[in-house]
Protein backbone atom coordinates (compact mmCIF):
# COMPACT_ATOMS: atom_id res chain seq x y z
CA UNK A 1 0.00 0.00 0.00
CA UNK A 2 1.40 3.45 -0.91
CA UNK A 3 2.72 4.98 2.30
CA UNK A 4 1.29 1.97 4.07
CA UNK A 5 -2.18 3.41 3.46
CA UNK A 6 -5.36 2.45 1.61
CA UNK A 7 -7.60 5.19 3.00
CA UNK A 8 -6.14 8.68 2.74
CA UNK A 9 -8.33 10.29 5.42
CA UNK A 10 -6.84 8.03 8.10
CA UNK A 11 -3.25 9.11 7.51
CA UNK A 12 -1.73 11.22 10.28
CA UNK A 13 1.99 12.03 10.11
CA UNK A 14 4.27 10.41 11.07
CA UNK A 15 1.88 7.45 11.07
CA UNK A 16 -1.61 6.70 12.39
CA UNK A 17 -2.45 4.38 15.26
CA UNK A 18 -3.44 0.83 14.43
CA UNK A 19 -6.63 0.00 16.27
CA UNK A 20 -7.07 -3.65 17.13
CA UNK A 21 -10.32 -3.78 19.05
CA UNK A 22 -13.49 -1.86 19.84
CA UNK A 23 -16.23 -2.36 22.37
CA UNK A 24 -19.05 0.04 23.12
CA UNK A 25 -17.57 3.55 22.91
CA UNK A 26 -14.00 2.36 23.54
CA UNK A 27 -11.17 1.34 21.21
CA UNK A 28 -7.70 -0.08 21.88
CA UNK A 29 -4.57 0.42 19.80
CA UNK A 30 -1.95 -2.20 19.00
CA UNK A 31 0.19 -0.99 21.91
CA UNK A 32 -2.66 -1.57 24.34
CA UNK A 33 -3.72 2.07 24.91
CA UNK A 34 -7.41 2.67 25.44
CA UNK A 35 -9.36 5.58 23.90
CA UNK A 36 -12.91 6.87 23.98
CA UNK A 37 -13.99 6.88 20.35
CA UNK A 38 -15.34 10.30 19.37
CA UNK A 39 -14.69 9.69 15.66
CA UNK A 40 -17.41 7.09 15.32
CA UNK A 41 -15.94 5.98 11.98
CA UNK A 42 -16.91 9.32 10.39
CA UNK A 43 -20.60 8.62 11.26
CA UNK A 44 -20.63 4.96 10.13
CA UNK A 45 -20.02 3.85 13.73
CA UNK A 46 -23.32 5.17 15.09
CA UNK A 47 -24.11 1.93 16.92
CA UNK A 48 -20.77 1.82 18.71
CA UNK A 49 -18.48 -1.17 18.62
CA UNK A 50 -19.55 -4.78 18.73
CA UNK A 51 -23.21 -4.07 19.46
CA UNK A 52 -24.62 -7.41 20.67
CA UNK A 53 -27.84 -7.21 18.61
CA UNK A 54 -25.96 -6.46 15.40
CA UNK A 55 -23.29 -9.05 16.12
CA UNK A 56 -26.00 -11.63 16.68
CA UNK A 57 -27.70 -10.71 13.39
CA UNK A 58 -24.40 -11.09 11.56
CA UNK A 59 -23.66 -14.43 13.24
CA UNK A 60 -27.14 -15.69 12.44
CA UNK A 61 -26.84 -14.72 8.75
CA UNK A 62 -23.27 -16.02 8.54
CA UNK A 63 -24.41 -19.47 9.57
CA UNK A 64 -26.47 -19.77 6.36
CA UNK A 65 -23.75 -18.59 3.97
CA UNK A 66 -22.76 -15.23 2.53
CA UNK A 67 -22.38 -15.53 -1.26
CA UNK A 68 -25.71 -16.97 -2.35
CA UNK A 69 -25.91 -15.40 -5.83
CA UNK A 70 -29.60 -14.63 -5.50
CA UNK A 71 -32.00 -12.28 -3.73
CA UNK A 72 -31.87 -13.01 0.00
CA UNK A 73 -34.32 -12.64 2.85
CA UNK A 74 -32.63 -9.63 4.43
CA UNK A 75 -32.62 -7.10 1.58
CA UNK A 76 -36.41 -6.60 1.64
CA UNK A 77 -36.27 -6.03 5.41
CA UNK A 78 -33.64 -3.35 5.05
CA UNK A 79 -35.40 -1.73 2.08
CA UNK A 80 -38.69 -1.60 3.97
CA UNK A 81 -37.01 -0.17 7.08
CA UNK A 82 -35.29 2.60 5.12
CA UNK A 83 -38.31 3.48 2.95
CA UNK A 84 -40.40 3.58 6.13
CA UNK A 85 -38.05 6.15 7.64
CA UNK A 86 -37.63 8.50 4.69
CA UNK A 87 -40.95 9.30 2.96
CA UNK A 88 -39.20 10.78 -0.11
CA UNK A 89 -37.57 7.39 -0.75
CA UNK A 90 -40.40 5.55 -2.49
CA UNK A 91 -38.06 3.00 -4.01
CA UNK A 92 -34.45 2.19 -3.16
CA UNK A 93 -31.41 0.43 -4.58
CA UNK A 94 -28.41 -0.74 -2.64
CA UNK A 95 -24.73 -0.54 -3.51
CA UNK A 96 -21.46 -0.71 -1.59
CA UNK A 97 -20.45 2.80 -0.60
CA UNK A 98 -21.63 6.36 -0.41
CA UNK A 99 -19.38 7.15 -3.35
CA UNK A 100 -21.10 4.55 -5.47
CA UNK A 101 -24.52 5.79 -4.35
CA UNK A 102 -23.72 9.30 -5.54
CA UNK A 103 -22.22 8.11 -8.84
CA UNK A 104 -25.36 6.04 -9.48
CA UNK A 105 -27.74 8.85 -8.49
CA UNK A 106 -25.95 11.31 -10.77
CA UNK A 107 -25.88 8.81 -13.63
CA UNK A 108 -29.59 8.15 -13.13
CA UNK A 109 -30.27 11.88 -13.20
CA UNK A 110 -28.35 12.25 -16.45
CA UNK A 111 -30.10 9.27 -18.05
CA UNK A 112 -33.54 10.40 -16.89
CA UNK A 113 -33.17 14.04 -17.96
CA UNK A 114 -30.99 13.53 -21.02
CA UNK A 115 -28.82 16.39 -19.72
CA UNK A 116 -25.19 16.49 -18.59
CA UNK A 117 -24.46 19.43 -16.31
CA UNK A 118 -24.24 18.87 -12.55
CA UNK A 119 -24.30 21.63 -9.93
CA UNK A 120 -22.27 20.96 -6.77
CA UNK A 121 -20.84 23.12 -3.97
CA UNK A 122 -17.46 24.26 -2.69
CA UNK A 123 -16.43 22.13 0.28
CA UNK A 124 -18.76 19.30 -0.71
CA UNK A 125 -17.58 15.73 -0.33
CA UNK A 126 -19.61 13.03 -2.03
CA UNK A 127 -16.91 10.37 -2.40
CA UNK A 128 -13.47 9.66 -3.80
CA UNK A 129 -14.43 10.82 -7.32
CA UNK A 130 -16.78 13.60 -6.18
CA UNK A 131 -14.67 15.90 -4.03
CA UNK A 132 -15.13 19.65 -4.39
CA UNK A 133 -12.73 21.34 -2.04
CA UNK A 134 -10.37 24.05 -3.32
CA UNK A 135 -11.20 23.55 -6.99
CA UNK A 136 -11.88 19.82 -6.84
CA UNK A 137 -9.87 16.63 -6.96
CA UNK A 138 -7.99 15.57 -10.13
CA UNK A 139 -9.65 12.18 -9.63
CA UNK A 140 -13.19 13.53 -10.03
CA UNK A 141 -15.26 11.72 -12.59
CA UNK A 142 -15.47 13.42 -15.97
CA UNK A 143 -18.74 15.35 -15.91
CA UNK A 144 -19.36 19.05 -16.51
CA UNK A 145 -19.53 20.10 -12.85
CA UNK A 146 -20.36 23.67 -11.94
CA UNK A 147 -19.29 24.57 -8.39
CA UNK A 148 -21.36 27.08 -6.42
CA UNK A 149 -20.77 28.63 -2.99
CA UNK A 150 -22.33 26.63 -0.18
CA UNK A 151 -25.08 28.51 1.70
CA UNK A 152 -25.29 31.21 -1.00
CA UNK A 153 -28.90 31.25 -2.25
CA UNK A 154 -27.68 33.02 -5.41
CA UNK A 155 -25.95 29.76 -6.35
CA UNK A 156 -29.40 28.54 -7.40
CA UNK A 157 -28.92 30.71 -10.51
CA UNK A 158 -26.38 28.12 -11.73
CA UNK A 159 -29.29 25.74 -12.38
CA UNK A 160 -30.52 26.00 -15.97
CA UNK A 161 -32.12 24.02 -18.82
CA UNK A 162 -28.88 22.03 -19.31
CA UNK A 163 -28.71 20.91 -15.68
CA UNK A 164 -29.34 17.25 -14.94
CA UNK A 165 -28.90 17.43 -11.17
CA UNK A 166 -28.04 19.53 -8.16
CA UNK A 167 -26.06 17.43 -5.68
CA UNK A 168 -25.81 18.87 -2.17
CA UNK A 169 -25.20 17.83 1.43
CA UNK A 170 -27.89 19.37 3.66
CA UNK A 171 -25.00 19.89 6.09
CA UNK A 172 -21.39 19.95 4.87
CA UNK A 173 -19.87 16.94 6.62
CA UNK A 174 -16.20 16.57 5.66
CA UNK A 175 -16.27 20.27 4.83
CA UNK A 176 -16.41 21.15 8.56
CA UNK A 177 -19.90 20.23 9.85
CA UNK A 178 -21.47 23.40 8.48
CA UNK A 179 -25.28 23.23 8.51
CA UNK A 180 -27.03 24.25 5.32
CA UNK A 181 -29.29 27.31 5.59
CA UNK A 182 -32.89 26.50 4.89
CA UNK A 183 -33.21 29.45 2.45
CA UNK A 184 -30.23 28.17 0.44
CA UNK A 185 -31.54 24.62 0.22
CA UNK A 186 -35.08 25.80 -0.57
CA UNK A 187 -33.69 28.00 -3.37
CA UNK A 188 -32.02 24.90 -4.83
CA UNK A 189 -35.28 22.97 -4.48
CA UNK A 190 -37.20 25.68 -6.33
CA UNK A 191 -34.59 26.17 -9.06
CA UNK A 192 -34.34 22.44 -9.75
CA UNK A 193 -38.13 22.17 -10.03
CA UNK A 194 -38.41 25.25 -12.25
CA UNK A 195 -35.75 24.01 -14.68
CA UNK A 196 -36.57 20.32 -14.77
CA UNK A 197 -33.38 19.30 -12.96
CA UNK A 198 -33.27 16.76 -10.13
CA UNK A 199 -32.39 17.74 -6.58
CA UNK A 200 -30.23 15.10 -4.90
CA UNK A 201 -29.65 15.32 -1.15
CA UNK A 202 -26.49 13.51 -0.09
CA UNK A 203 -27.56 12.27 3.35
CA UNK A 204 -24.77 9.70 3.58
CA UNK A 205 -23.73 11.35 6.85
CA UNK A 206 -26.78 13.38 7.85
CA UNK A 207 -29.54 10.76 7.69
CA UNK A 208 -28.62 9.86 11.29
CA UNK A 209 -29.54 13.32 12.59
CA UNK A 210 -33.32 12.77 12.53
CA UNK A 211 -35.60 9.81 11.94
CA UNK A 212 -36.45 11.26 8.53
CA UNK A 213 -32.98 12.73 7.94
CA UNK A 214 -32.18 16.43 7.64
CA UNK A 215 -34.74 16.63 4.82
CA UNK A 216 -37.40 16.08 7.49
CA UNK A 217 -35.93 18.78 9.76
CA UNK A 218 -35.73 21.20 6.83
CA UNK A 219 -39.10 20.15 5.39
CA UNK A 220 -37.56 20.02 1.92
CA UNK A 221 -38.23 17.02 -0.31
CA UNK A 222 -35.44 16.04 -2.71
CA UNK A 223 -36.07 13.98 -5.85
CA UNK A 224 -33.33 11.53 -4.92
CA UNK A 225 -31.43 10.82 -1.69
CA UNK A 226 -28.12 9.05 -1.25
CA UNK A 227 -27.29 7.07 1.88
CA UNK A 228 -24.41 5.12 3.37
CA UNK A 229 -22.37 4.68 6.55
CA UNK A 230 -24.22 3.33 9.66
CA UNK A 231 -27.25 2.14 7.67
CA UNK A 232 -25.27 -1.00 6.83
CA UNK A 233 -24.92 -1.74 10.54
CA UNK A 234 -21.18 -1.03 10.37
CA UNK A 235 -20.48 -3.03 7.21
CA UNK A 236 -19.74 -1.67 3.71
CA UNK A 237 -22.89 0.06 2.50
CA UNK A 238 -24.43 2.56 0.12
CA UNK A 239 -27.92 3.21 -1.22
CA UNK A 240 -29.78 5.64 -3.43
CA UNK A 241 -33.49 6.11 -3.79
CA UNK A 242 -36.31 8.55 -4.24
CA UNK A 243 -39.17 9.30 -6.60
CA UNK A 244 -40.95 6.20 -7.82
CA UNK A 245 -41.07 7.35 -11.48
CA UNK A 246 -37.28 7.76 -11.49
CA UNK A 247 -36.35 4.63 -9.57
CA UNK A 248 -38.76 2.51 -11.60
CA UNK A 249 -36.42 3.00 -14.55
CA UNK A 250 -34.35 0.23 -12.91
CA UNK A 251 -37.25 -2.24 -12.85
CA UNK A 252 -35.69 -5.15 -14.74
CA UNK A 253 -39.05 -6.32 -16.05
CA UNK A 254 -39.21 -3.21 -18.25
CA UNK A 255 -37.94 -3.71 -21.79
CA UNK A 256 -35.96 -0.45 -21.53
CA UNK A 257 -34.72 -1.02 -17.95
CA UNK A 258 -31.57 0.80 -16.86
CA UNK A 259 -28.95 -1.79 -15.92
CA UNK A 260 -27.51 -1.67 -12.42
CA UNK A 261 -25.79 -4.85 -11.28
CA UNK A 262 -23.21 -5.02 -8.48
CA UNK A 263 -21.99 -8.29 -7.02
CA UNK A 264 -22.31 -7.15 -3.43
CA UNK A 265 -25.33 -4.81 -3.74
CA UNK A 266 -27.32 -7.21 -1.55
CA UNK A 267 -24.38 -8.54 0.51
CA UNK A 268 -25.98 -10.89 3.01
CA UNK A 269 -24.12 -9.72 6.12
CA UNK A 270 -24.64 -6.04 5.33
CA UNK A 271 -28.34 -6.46 4.68
CA UNK A 272 -28.78 -8.47 7.89
CA UNK A 273 -26.71 -6.09 10.05
CA UNK A 274 -28.40 -3.01 8.60
CA UNK A 275 -31.90 -4.38 9.08
CA UNK A 276 -31.14 -5.40 12.68
CA UNK A 277 -29.77 -1.96 13.49
CA UNK A 278 -32.73 -0.10 12.07
CA UNK A 279 -35.46 -2.36 13.42
CA UNK A 280 -34.00 -3.37 16.79
CA UNK A 281 -31.54 -0.72 17.94
CA UNK A 282 -32.15 2.74 16.50
CA UNK A 283 -35.26 4.67 17.55
CA UNK A 284 -36.31 8.32 17.27
CA UNK A 285 -35.70 8.62 21.03
CA UNK A 286 -32.14 7.34 20.71
CA UNK A 287 -31.49 9.81 17.90
CA UNK A 288 -32.83 12.63 20.10
CA UNK A 289 -30.71 11.52 23.07
CA UNK A 290 -27.57 11.43 20.94
CA UNK A 291 -28.33 14.82 19.38
CA UNK A 292 -28.71 16.26 22.89
CA UNK A 293 -25.26 14.87 23.76
CA UNK A 294 -23.90 16.68 20.69
CA UNK A 295 -25.55 19.94 21.79
CA UNK A 296 -24.01 19.50 25.24
CA UNK A 297 -20.55 18.96 23.70
CA UNK A 298 -20.92 22.00 21.44
CA UNK A 299 -21.92 24.16 24.43
CA UNK A 300 -18.91 22.98 26.47
CA UNK A 301 -16.53 23.57 23.58
CA UNK A 302 -17.93 26.99 22.76
CA UNK A 303 -17.52 27.95 26.43
CA UNK A 304 -13.77 27.30 25.96
CA UNK A 305 -13.70 29.89 23.19
CA UNK A 306 -13.40 27.28 20.45
CA UNK A 307 -15.67 27.48 17.41
CA UNK A 308 -17.95 24.43 17.45
CA UNK A 309 -20.31 23.80 14.54
CA UNK A 310 -22.54 20.97 13.42
CA UNK A 311 -25.97 19.65 14.22
CA UNK A 312 -26.98 17.12 16.83
CA UNK A 313 -24.55 14.24 17.10
CA UNK A 314 -22.14 15.58 14.45
CA UNK A 315 -19.73 18.19 15.79
CA UNK A 316 -17.06 20.25 14.06
CA UNK A 317 -14.21 21.72 16.12
CA UNK A 318 -12.37 24.52 14.39
CA UNK A 319 -8.76 25.76 14.61
CA UNK A 320 -7.63 23.28 17.26
CA UNK A 321 -5.54 20.88 15.13
CA UNK A 322 -2.60 21.52 17.46
CA UNK A 323 -4.29 19.76 20.39
CA UNK A 324 -4.94 16.51 18.49
CA UNK A 325 -2.02 14.48 19.85
CA UNK A 326 -2.53 15.85 23.35
CA UNK A 327 -6.15 14.74 23.24
CA UNK A 328 -5.04 11.29 22.07
CA UNK A 329 -2.64 11.08 25.00
CA UNK A 330 -5.53 11.95 27.28
CA UNK A 331 -7.50 9.08 25.79
CA UNK A 332 -9.81 10.85 23.32
CA UNK A 333 -9.82 9.83 19.66
CA UNK A 334 -11.44 11.87 16.88
CA UNK A 335 -10.49 13.14 13.42
CA UNK A 336 -7.52 15.46 13.44
CA UNK A 337 -9.30 18.01 11.27
CA UNK A 338 -11.74 18.43 14.18
CA UNK A 339 -14.53 16.08 13.20
CA UNK A 340 -16.56 14.32 15.90
CA UNK A 341 -19.43 11.86 15.35
CA UNK A 342 -20.99 10.59 18.55
CA UNK A 343 -22.06 6.96 18.92
CA UNK A 344 -24.92 5.50 20.92
CA UNK A 345 -22.85 4.05 23.82
CA UNK A 346 -21.35 7.46 24.72
CA UNK A 347 -22.65 9.11 27.91
CA UNK A 348 -22.89 12.64 29.32
CA UNK A 349 -19.91 11.80 31.52
CA UNK A 350 -17.87 10.88 28.41
CA UNK A 351 -18.82 14.13 26.71
CA UNK A 352 -17.96 16.19 29.80
CA UNK A 353 -14.64 14.32 30.01
CA UNK A 354 -13.85 15.24 26.41
CA UNK A 355 -14.54 18.92 27.13
CA UNK A 356 -12.41 18.81 30.33
CA UNK A 357 -9.53 17.22 28.41
CA UNK A 358 -9.82 19.87 25.70
CA UNK A 359 -9.79 22.62 28.35
CA UNK A 360 -6.66 21.14 29.92
CA UNK A 361 -4.94 20.81 26.53
CA UNK A 362 -5.75 24.37 25.54
CA UNK A 363 -4.47 25.62 28.90
N1 LIG B 1 -21.12 11.56 0.92
C2 LIG B 1 -20.79 12.09 2.11
C3 LIG B 1 -21.56 13.27 2.59
C4 LIG B 1 -19.75 11.54 2.85
O5 LIG B 1 -19.42 12.09 4.02
C6 LIG B 1 -19.06 10.41 2.36
C7 LIG B 1 -17.95 9.75 3.14
N8 LIG B 1 -17.31 10.47 4.11
C9 LIG B 1 -19.44 9.89 1.13
C10 LIG B 1 -20.48 10.47 0.45
C11 LIG B 1 -18.75 8.71 0.54
O12 LIG B 1 -19.09 7.57 1.22
P13 LIG B 1 -18.09 6.28 1.16
O14 LIG B 1 -16.90 6.65 1.96
O15 LIG B 1 -18.90 5.18 1.74
O16 LIG B 1 -17.78 6.06 -0.28
What's the pLDDT tens digit per position in 208-260?
Answer: 999 999 999 999 999 999 999 999 999 999 999 999 999 999 999 999 999 99
Give mean pLDDT, residues 191-195: 98
To the question of pTM greater than 0.75 for the whole model, the response is yes
Q: Which of 74, 150, 202, 350 is catalytic?
A: 202
Ligand 1 center to 99 CA (angstroms): 6
- Given ligand 1 and candidates 126, 171, 177, 264, which is best to mutate, with the most ligand atoms within 8 Å of its CB? 126
Q: Answer yes or no: is the C-beta of 205 below 6 A from any ligand 1 atom.
A: yes
Closest CA to 121 of 82, 151, 81, 163: 151
Ligand 1 center to 43 CA (angstroms): 10
Quick one: which atom of ligand 1 is closest to the CA of 130?
10
What topology is assigned to 53-281 in CATH? Answer: 3.40.640
Ligand 1 center to 207 CA (angstroms): 12
Nearest-angstrom CA–CA distance, 228 and 145: 23
Long-range contacts (CB closer than 8 Å, 24 or more residues apart) made by 249-255 = 249/108, 249/111, 249/112, 250/93, 250/108
The mean predicted confidence, pLDDT, of the chain is 98
The predicted pLDDT at position 235 comes to 98
Quick one: which atom of ligand 1 is closest to the CA of 9?
8
Question: Does 35 qualify as catalytic in the annotation?
Answer: no
- 268-276 vs 52-62: helix crossing angle, rounded to 10: 150
- 240 close to 108: Cβ distance less than 8 angstroms: yes
- 327 close to 334: Cβ distance less than 8 angstroms: yes
Ligand 1 center to 116 CA (angstroms): 22
Domain 2-51+285-362 has CATH 3.90.1150.10: yes
- Domains 2-51+285-362 and 53-281 equal at CATH topology level: no
- Tell me the per-residue pLDDT of 37-83, one tens digit each, with 9 for 90 and over: 999 999 999 999 999 999 999 999 999 999 999 999 999 999 999 99
The predicted pLDDT at position 135 comes to 82
Amino acid sequence: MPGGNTRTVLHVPPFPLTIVRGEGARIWDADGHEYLDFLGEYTAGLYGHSHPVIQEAIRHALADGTTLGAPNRYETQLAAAICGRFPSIELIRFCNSGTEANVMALSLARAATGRRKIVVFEGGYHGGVLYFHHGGSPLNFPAPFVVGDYNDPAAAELVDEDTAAVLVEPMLGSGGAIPGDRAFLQALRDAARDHGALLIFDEVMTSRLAWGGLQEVLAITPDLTTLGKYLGGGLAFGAFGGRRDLMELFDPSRPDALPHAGTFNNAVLTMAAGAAGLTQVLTPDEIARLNALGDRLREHIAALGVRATGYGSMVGLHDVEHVFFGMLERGYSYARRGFVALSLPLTEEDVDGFADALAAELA
